[in-house]
Structure 1
Amino acid sequence: MMQVVLASASPRRLALLEQVGVRVQVCPADFAEADGKAAEARHVAVNNARGKCRAVAAAQGDAVPVVAADTIVVIDEDILGNPADAAAAEAMLNRLSGRSHTVITGVAVRYRGRELYKDCATSVLFRRLSAQEIREYVATGEPLDKAGAYGIQGRGALLVEKIDGCYNNVVGLPLTMLYEMFKELGADMTGD
């Protein structure tokens, strides 16, 4: 079983890696994420992932693959990060209600002196939500630490009508893309 260093405290990313049999050492990055405009969303997500990956690799080394990711939600011309509080979460969910948005995850992997970084985008359509549904969902606390104020792998699944693209990307780590990145770096993500 392959071991990786995950430059993130995200329990969702940890669970995804463990789901495919990867042993994970969690080492959150000491890196200040940047934000930006929707027009540069892919660039923002990739640069944040690269910054986290490099910060952890500088501290831990890269004899074991270091994996970092940054997930953002884009609607209209805005990037929606994690809501600051319940009111911000309600506002985000009202904005997403009945509409499509894009979830972009930037991923960076550093291994034995080599670094790869890519991004993955998935289109997500929300069903129309009532004000009461939004208030009840926010009251669960689930939206407060998630980009766009929802978690598709939790109760937020009930908000989503349809997705076009990688489901795991919406959770926070596009596993198929990551697997291909590992192969390109000469590492077997599912082997020893």
Structure 2
Amino acid sequence: MKPADQKIYLASKSPRRRELLRQIGVDFILLMLRDQGPRGPDVSEEMYAGEAPEDYVVRVTHEKAAAAWQILLARRLPQRTILAADTTVVLDGDILGKPAGRTEAVTMLQSLSGRTHQVLTSVVVHHDGEAQQLTQTSTVTFAALSDDMIRAYCATSEPYDKAGGYGIQGLASMFITDITGSHSGIMGLPLFETAQLLKQAGIKLL
């Protein structure tokens, strides 16, 4: 078992990020941010007018880490390193978020069919009151998808909690003809960049 000071807080609900952190041996405690409720979310994921996708993903991730730090202080939790991340899918300069339902998921996948898009994942590691941040960009090319294939995919549960309406680690892997960048970054946490930030914060990985 790792020493207590080697544990981090993970400010994310993503099961993919949990899996990826475990893959590189990071011991973590979940520090959940509120995404709804009477007082609203801890961090709004609304875009500002005219905000570029790169600026958006950097801002939202920074705000998640800052909100997690304030929760830690308010709850008087033991101070540990905090990791926050956000992933954005971009097509023709427009952000494709998580589809609200089947109709939106079908429309997203139709727009991605036969095209190349970008996946931006920004990571913040907050340690000793200071935040270090990196953003990784990958490109993903989809094969041309038939309407039947899109409808069949959207009949599964896979598209609905993922930016862009697909999961590279699941059934959608059969749609993808080419990737440039980080496979783990497309999943939601670029492991090389994350490892560098954690090492800077004093987290021993190997």
State the Cα RMSD in Å.
1.6
- Given the alignment, which residue of 70, 73, 80 partners 1:64? 80
1:190 alignment partner AA: L
Give me the TM-score of the superposition, normalised by structure 1: 0.93
1:34 matched to 2:46: yes
Q: Deviations over 1:11-67 (max 9, x none)?
A: 011111011111121112232223257971111111111111111111114831100
Bigger shift: 25-34 or 41-50? 25-34
1:158 Cα deviation (Å)?
Answer: 1.0
Equivalent residue runs for 1:26-175 within 5 Å? 26-29=30-33, 30-36=42-48, 40-61=52-73, 63-175=79-191
- Given the alignment, which residue of 3, 19, 39 partners 1:15? 19
Give me the TM-score of the superposition, normalised by structure 2: 0.87
Larger Rg: 2
Q: Whole-Å Cα distance in 2 between the matches of residues 126 and 8 of structure 1?
A: 27
What 5-or-longer segments of structure 2 have no aligned partner? 34-41
What is the DSSP-based 3-state SS (H/G/I as helix, E as strand, rest coil) of the residue aligned with 2:178? Answer: strand
What 5-or-longer segments of structure 1 have no aligned partner? none
Structure 1 outlier segments of 4+, above 3 Å:
36-39
Say whether the 8 Å CA contact 2:199–2:205 is kept in structure 1.
no
Cα distance change on mapping 1:6 and 1:144 into 2, 3 Å: same
What is the DSSP-based 3-state SS (H/G/I as helix, E as strand, rest coil) of the residue aligned with 1:71? Answer: strand
What is the DSSP-based 3-state SS (H/G/I as helix, E as strand, rest coil) of the residue aligned with 2:79? Answer: coil
What is the DSSP-based 3-state SS (H/G/I as helix, E as strand, rest coil) of the residue aligned with 1:161? Answer: strand
Say whether the 8 Å CA contact 2:7–2:27 is kept in structure 1.
yes
What is the DSSP-based 3-state SS (H/G/I as helix, E as strand, rest coil) of the residue aligned with 2:67? Answer: helix
Say whether the 8 Å CA contact 1:47–1:106 is kept in structure 2.
no
Could you tell me which residue of structure 1 aligns to residue 29 of structure 2?
A: 25
Q: Deviations over 1:143-191 (max 9, x none)?
A: 0110000000111111111100011010000111011112233x12416
Q: Percent identity?
A: 37
Q: Whole-Å Cα distance in 1 between the matches of residues 93 and 171 of structure 2?
A: 27
